[in-house]
Structure 1
């Protein structure tokens, strides 16, 4: 025969139930206040694995899916409501124009949704800076877009992927990142997509912004910005990829002592619509190559003078008479980023003066 519970015990149980309900409601309310961040995974070292815990080179990239990446950093739940999506699973040296168009269109679709406040893109570091700049030119939203990678696979001692991912989500969820353009977050630092570059093959501090400087730091669970990029980006660009399924072929030809025209002639013969000449010094042109450069321009190929140096302005009409040759100067863009801008510029115009305007604007 069952016995009724004492009234005092019933009151205690009821009070406990109410406390639990209140706690659950408070937790739900707190979670509702967090920004909604979507993580788009593309592969790379941040999703890689090595044979041992000390394997920091010679590992296999792009082996871990986005769900496992998120599960490995449970602290993400404290800074954002996170969802993951596997867009690609590749090493970033295999990133292509087609991948970029697919990724950019997905980013624009997601950012147009009211339930997406920011996006983090996990990416291999080899071409991370190029993807970041491409997106900086074609994303049509002020909402934060942050690219992140790792220099060590997740299986390595002191793997940098988890903290980099945490910082990237924190940044994408922050109000401070709104309207700053596409950002790159690695090694507790914030960089602008246009200016950041990979400077070392393997060290954790590989990503830097030479001369112009990084935008800020992430410290104590908060982003700190100290300056912003002065060049136009995202919603303020003229580039629209919504109906594009391909980009014009643009190739890079590297300058060096005793350079001849063979590489240039080969890319022109293969159908290049534009060529980035990564010249020595201030974008200087070797005498042996100038006739082929002139011939290519006469055939309608756009020529952009960049520099292999990695820092500084390529001066228009400096080491070559760009007005006479009808060439474009790359300004401060490195060759790989000059290629991206020229591809997009060619979807808008084939006039060298108009394209030069774009190089000074973006």
Structure 2
């Protein structure tokens, strides 16, 4: 019999520990990270103030996308991040041309296999409008997340860095696939169609007050509790790939003692559609109704919305829409009804078909 020298006990222990450590390393190896592109458009998240306590009166859209990314090194833990400066504006200057440029660029990127999701940094003033426009024209189920900030990057309590981190985390997640365009602000997840800015200055300004937000971001993970039920993104009928412009649609705001002057000016200026942001359930004042009827007879599409901010504008409720050949906005606020009408007019001028579109999206 061959004699084998006994193996020292500590050698066995060390080998066993090394084996466990190796298995543990295999189990905890870094997961595959998604590729997320950040498209920067300006806004407060890219703003700067004269002092660290300046939270109003700052200058928006001064910080470039690379600086935004470098300010949040933790992004590298949740995604492979690249940045692109699409434009650099304060969001009150957003317009149709910028939307078409942004929408086409988003579709170009999402068509690439090496892009898993997109984050768009944006000023908060018109963020909800850009989000809804993209919700209607993006041709992919990959995540698209809009994010902004209510305090500039130089403020002591700047909310931009954590908002940006959460947005990238969300865009890189499997949970966000197929959820439509999302808004990530203040640790919350909102659907583009239903969210609105509700406060002029506080960080919790974005809310889906009546229909409810979709979920939270907590502990480096998104949690969804609801889904957006209206059609969106890859399931819509809208195609902007060859569009160079959008039809002119304007909003007329309802108020006591309202007259037809603004409406008539918009029609004379070439409006193809008018959103009437009426009082209550989209009511029509006696002084304005004849001008709306005249505009419709000239071929201008009229959509009855409400300035209230919540609730359904009932078809044939405060006005006989069938008789007047008007369209009811359903639950869309006036600014979002404008976006849907613009896109609807690229496909049809039939009011009944446009009413179907409003009930679909």
Q: Name the TM-score, length of structure 1 as normaliser.
A: 0.92
Aligned-partner SS, 2:353: helix
Aligned-partner SS, 1:157: coil
Divergent runs of 4+, >2 A: 29-32
Q: What does residue 268 of structure 1 align with? A: 267
Q: What does residue 213 of structure 2 align with? A: 214
Q: What does residue 282 of structure 1 align with? A: 281
Alpha-carbon shift at residue 108 of structure 1 (Å): 0.2
Q: What does residue 291 of structure 1 align with? A: 290
Please provide the CA RMSD for this pair.
1.4
Q: What does residue 104 of structure 1 align with? A: 103
Aligned-partner SS, 2:85: strand
Q: What does residue 93 of structure 2 align with? A: 94
Q: What does residue 255 of structure 1 align with? A: 254
Q: What does residue 38 of structure 1 align with? A: 37
2:233 equivalent to 1:234: yes
Q: Quote the Cα distance in structure 1 between the aligned partners of 2:136 and 2:289.
A: 31
Q: Quote the Cα distance in structure 2 between the aligned partners of 1:306 and 1:127.
A: 18
Alpha-carbon shift at residue 72 of structure 1 (Å): 0.1
Aligned-partner SS, 2:162: helix
Q: Quote the Cα distance in structure 2 between the aligned partners of 1:178 and 1:342.
A: 27
Alignment of 1:95-134 (within 5 A): 95-134=94-133
2:63 equivalent to 1:71: no
Aligned-partner SS, 2:287: coil
Alignment of 1:317-336 (within 5 A): 317-336=316-335
Provide, for residues 185-241 of structure 1, a one-character-per-residue CA deviation record: whole Å limited to 9, x for no partner.
000000000000000000010000011000000000000000101100001100000
Q: Quote the Cα distance in structure 1 between the aligned partners of 2:102 and 2:29.
A: 31
Q: Quote the Cα distance in structure 1 between the aligned partners of 2:222 and 2:31.
A: 21
Q: Quote the Cα distance in structure 2 between the aligned partners of 1:308 and 1:173.
A: 36
Against the structure 1 CA distance between its residues 103 and 30, is the aligned structure 2 distance closer, same or farther, given a 3 Å change threshold? farther
Q: What does residue 204 of structure 1 align with? A: 203
Alpha-carbon shift at residue 114 of structure 1 (Å): 0.2
Q: What does residue 60 of structure 2 align with? A: 61
Alpha-carbon shift at residue 157 of structure 1 (Å): 1.2
Aligned-partner SS, 2:105: helix
Against the structure 1 CA distance between its residues 67 and 30, is the aligned structure 2 distance closer, same or farther, given a 3 Å change threshold? farther
Q: What does residue 10 of structure 1 align with? A: none
Alpha-carbon shift at residue 31 of structure 1 (Å): 6.7
Structure 2, unmatched stretches of 5+, are: 1-24
Alpha-carbon shift at residue 32 of structure 1 (Å): 7.7
Q: What does residue 302 of structure 1 align with? A: 301
Number of matched residues?
A: 337
Question: Contact 1:129–1:197 at 8 Å: present in 2 too?
Answer: yes
Q: Name the TM-score, length of structure 2 as normaliser.
A: 0.92
Q: Quote the Cα distance in structure 2 between the aligned partners of 1:30 and 1:348.
A: 50
